[in-house]
Amino acid sequence: MPTQCTNASVARPDVKELLAELEVPFSPDQVQWRVTNSTNDKKRGQIVPYADPRAYTDRLNTLFSPQGWTREYKVETMSNITRVKKGESLLSGKVLVTCTVTIFGLWSHSGTGEEWADDDNSVTSADAQAFKRACSCFGIGRYFYDIPPIWADLDQNRQPVRTPVLSAWALPENWRKGMRPAGKNGSGRANASNQGIGSNGGTNHGQAARSQSRSTNGGGNGHAQTAKSTDSGDNLDARIQGLEKAVGTALFRGILREYGGVNQPKLIGDAATKRKVLQMLESGTRGIARLDAVTKRLDPNKVKGLLDKLQVPPLNEIADIKTLQNVVLGLEELAGPTQPYAA
């Protein structure tokens, strides 16, 4: 059900500062992970981050005090709805909740949540969903939508074996410094100049994506269309596999899992996905080249200090393009401009 946002009052003079603070990501210790999809053997699954409603409440209490905001719930029920549960059809109903959050002196936003009535804690689940959706209209927790699902190993309780490392931009201190997910600027709009690590041989997802889009839709000079029609699956597999050494095992497997949902190139079912994985690996090789170049210019202690500050793993354990991008940009800023080549 759609989320409704309504303006209720005149904004206070410091509304921009308040909104900016509302949007700041939660502390990593408040972030949890939920499995949304899993393989048939339940050993691997796609997981997404989320935060408990108490984290949203704490943010509102911190900025406005417990007396500075309220929430109201409206609960409705729908009956005689047939659903399929564990392969069996049963007659059930739905709990529908609307939550309206009001910040005194600012405005009100409403969000909706729903859950099957026969599920345990259905009202609690619908309440939490509605409350968090209302809060997202103010910007709280909205950054979660910019974090794509990732594949992870699951334990016997269908929980991630290891807690994933958040991208550097999703940490509060980096967000306040202006770091944002690739493809977005400070206002949340698409930013072509920030789609990848950048020019001069770095990754640039935006340019690659636009080039691919023009080619596959009949535009451009047609060269990419020819490559698409003649590139066999085996050839793509070989090209993908050949980049493992260039990007390192961690990043290689991370890209395979994130963009292909597999551990081996041959398990990718369609050529389009294989080409996407290949594109990201090629971007990764350019990013690694930039990384090697800048680390040679810096003292190892400075490199380690930045990694600790960004809360990212060691360089050889970086497993996603976004983290690689943020590390490269941070190190290059730390190292300063390179000396120009002699004429």
Say yes or no: 101 and 225 in one domain: no
Q: How far is CA 200 from CA 26, 304, 329, in A?
A: 34, 25, 13
Looking up residue 20, the CATH number of its domain turns out to be 3.30.390.80
Residue 175 counted as domain residue: no
Residues ≥6 apart with Cβ < 8 Å to 72: 99, 100, 102
Eight-class DSSP state of 256: I
Does the pLDDT of residue 105 top 60, yes or no?
A: yes
Say yes or no: 107 and 66 in one domain: yes
Segment 292-311 mean pLDDT:
86
Residue 253, classified by CB atoms within 10 Å of its CB into exposed (0-12), middle (13-18) or buried (19+), is: middle
What's the domain count of the chain? Answer: 2
Contact of 257 with 280, CB cutoff 8 Å: no
C-alpha span between 322 and 8 (Å, rounded): 38
Eight-class DSSP state of 331: H
Say yes or no: 147 and 240 in one domain: no
Residue 63 counted as domain residue: yes
Q: How far is CA 320 from CA 20, 69, 280, in A?
A: 27, 39, 10
Say yes or no: 327 and 265 in one domain: yes
Alpha helices in 139-242 (DSSP H): 172-176, 205-216, 223-230, 233-241
Biggest distance spanned by C-alpha atoms of the chain: 80
C-alpha span between 286 and 265 (Å, rounded): 20
> In terms of Cα–Cα distance, which of 7, 167, 175, 1 is closest to 95?
1
In percent, how much of the chain has pLDDT > 90? 28
For residue 338, give both structure tokens.
Answer: 């390179």
Say yes or no: 134 and 267 in one domain: no
Residue 138 counted as domain residue: yes
C-alpha span between 247 and 209 (Å, rounded): 20
Say yes or no: 217 and 157 in one domain: no
Eight-class DSSP state of 243: T
C-alpha span between 307 and 258 (Å, rounded): 22
Say yes or no: 106 and 226 in one domain: no
Residue 103 counted as domain residue: yes
Residue 169 counted as domain residue: no
Say yes or no: 246 and 129 in one domain: no
For residue 193, give both structure tokens.
Answer: 């100049």
pLDDT band at 203 (very low <50, low <70, confident <90, very high): very low
Residue 176 counted as domain residue: no
* Range with top average pLDDT, 117-121, 142-146, 149-153, 210-214: 142-146
What is the pTM (predicted TM-score) of this model? 0.53
Considering only residues 171 and 5, tell me which one the structure prediction assigns the higher pLDDT: 171
Say yes or no: 16 and 148 in one domain: yes
* Range with top average pLDDT, 34-43, 127-136, 150-159, 265-274: 127-136
* Range with top average pLDDT, 32-36, 225-229, 302-306: 32-36
Give the range of the structural domain holding residue 82, as residue numbers without chain letter: 4-164
> In terms of Cα–Cα distance, which of 51, 47, 70 is closest to 60?
70
Say yes or no: 13 and 148 in one domain: yes
Give strand pairing partners of 31.
Answer: 51
pLDDT band at 205 (very low <50, low <70, confident <90, very high): very low
Say yes or no: 141 and 11 in one domain: yes
